[in-house]
Amino acid sequence: MSCVAQSFYSWSATSPIGFVLRRLARRFARGVALLAALGAAALAQAQTPYATIANASGPITNIFVGDDLSLQVEYDGYTAYQVFPSATKPGDYGTFVVIGNTLYAPDFSSHGGSAAGVYGASTEIFTPVSQTPVAGAGTSASPYTVTTTAAAGTTGVQIVETVTYVVGDEFFHTSTKLTNSTTDDQTVLLYRAMDCYLGGSDSGFGMVAPGMIACTKNENNDPPGMVEGFTFTPGPDVHYMEATYSTIWSQIRAQDAFPDTVYADSTDNGMGVSWELTVPAGGSVTVAGNTLFLPTGVFPLDTQISANPGSVTPGGQVTYTVTVTNANSSDVTLESLTSMLPSGFSYVSGSAEGDLAGHNPAIAGQTLEWAGAAGVTVPANGTLVFTFVANVASSVAAGSYTASVEGTATNPAYAVTPDQHDALVAVLGGGRSQSSAAIPSLSELALALLALLLAGGAALEMRRRSR
């Protein structure tokens, strides 16, 4: 102890004023400690909770799914994560919606670091509602699954996002369902976007192919190298963009759909897809696609199945569209292609049109094996597209029904990504409706007993009044 401190201690021990000062000093120190503890607790609480799809077998070893609709990915063999910031979980990967004049976004500020400049005067953070534990066995029949639900403020719109992964795949699947609990249709601009970190590199090129936007290590992926990409079902209200990461975030902050452009040079890049949607009153809309992480730059063939119309009554018909996309620079030949219809739906013979026109599938229960697809070549940077019609049985009950599609290629170097349970059809008014429900009736004996009870009650009432 210094001489000055020793003198102060001796004086404060004997002086009334010093005694008071010592007590104040102790209280001040305790207050500082309490504030520090509270601050540490607040910081700990601020970290975005996340579920982890862990898989030691790889190649994707961890998917960190935030409860704010954000995400981070770890790939086998790389020390850095695949989304910037490369050491935070979750990272700058997320789902966003614009409703009215408000942008709803993940809480990137609670990730431990972020460069996602999406926040402005008209931005609000999603309200987390729920997140399931990781389920499934990591197989194609039972993929690892996490479902996260978040609310867009008080709009009545909730986002239900399901991430699934099958061990061995170089991609995972994301299905995003928007539900609307209000009595009015709602117009929604939906985004999925990320800041790419290509296998430890923060710079790359952009590449577009039918139904895909990607960040690539090499220009036009030539020679093939590390690729990160989004797949989507093309449509007039679906748009994409690859650009500098800050431009991606600025486009979202400005609440503008992506402009279908790719940056002309190597840059610190990001990418995104946007959908312009109408969510019906009391209803829902679902979009889906895969997120690709491809160290060798070999693209899987992407399959998509969609349904039109999105709602039907029992006894009606649904037209399904199947699209197989090949983003590689070489043709790829299919070995098989299979569609699975929901229970109560049946294929209409001779209804196939497009690239499989004139081919009927082999049917086993609800499974349609498209023998006509065997040996069919999907051209480089091209697609195979066909449609078919299904009848909806009059006995089908009201509810939501999904179809799926999967396939294989003759060359095992090319994977074929399945589209599972995304072609959603709502069957309306199925089964017995309220208007046609049988009204419960009483038997003759029950009616007689009821009459006796009523007569007895009336007699007792008359006797009471006559007294």
Q: Is 441 a domain residue?
A: no
The answer as to whether 435 is a domain residue is no
Compute CA distances 227 → 207, 216, 405, 446, whole Å.
Answer: 9, 5, 24, 75
Q: Are residues 240 and 350 in the same domain?
A: no
Could you tell me if residue 7 is inside a domain?
yes
**Residue that wins the pLDDT comparison between 2 and 204:** 204
| Within a domain: 436 | no
Q: Whole-angstrom Cα distance, residue 192 to residue 209?
A: 17
Strands (E), 135-185: 144-151, 157-165, 171-180
Pairing mode, if any, of strands 301-308 and 416-417?
parallel
Q: What order of strands is seen across the sheet that includes strand 157-165?
A: 127-131, 144-151, 157-165, 171-180, 284-294, 227-231, 212-216, 205-209
- In this structure, are 168 and 261 located in the same domain? yes
Same-domain check for residues 62 and 28: no
Residues 242 and 324 in one domain: no
Do 231 and 329 reside in the same domain of the chain? no
Q: Is residue 462 part of a domain?
A: no
Strand partners, 231: 212
Torsion angle, CA of 277/280/281/286, rounded to 10 degrees?
-80
The answer on 294 and 174 residing in a single domain is yes
**pTM of the model as a whole:** 0.77
Number of structural domains (the chain) is 3
Residue 438: which pLDDT band, with cuts at 50, 70 and 90?
A: very low
Q: What percentage of the chain exceeds 70 in pLDDT?
A: 81
Counting Cα atoms < 13 Å in the Cβ hemisphere of 367 gives 8
For residue 93, the number of C-alpha atoms closer than 13 Å in the C-beta half-sphere is 25
Range of the domain at 370: 300-430
CATH classification of the domain holding 406:
2.60.40.10
Does one domain contain both 378 and 344?
yes
Quickly count: other Cβ atoms within 10 Å of residue 99's Cβ.
22
Average pLDDT over residues 117-124: 94
What's the token pair of residue 380? 């480089």
Q: Does residue 189 share a domain with residue 212?
A: yes
* Confidence grade of residue 280 (pLDDT, cut at 50, 70, 90): very high
Three-class SS state of 54? strand
The verdict on 33 and 69 lying in the same domain is no
pLDDT tens readout for residues 72-120: 999 999 999 999 999 999 999 999 999 999 999 999 999 999 999 999 9
269 and 147 within one domain: yes
274 in the same domain as 133? yes
The rounded mean pLDDT for the chain is 85
Both tokens assigned to 200 = 């430890």
Could you read off the pLDDT of 303-345 as tens digits, one per residue? 989 999 988 999 999 999 999 999 998 999 999 999 999 999 9
Domain co-membership, 81 together with 20: no
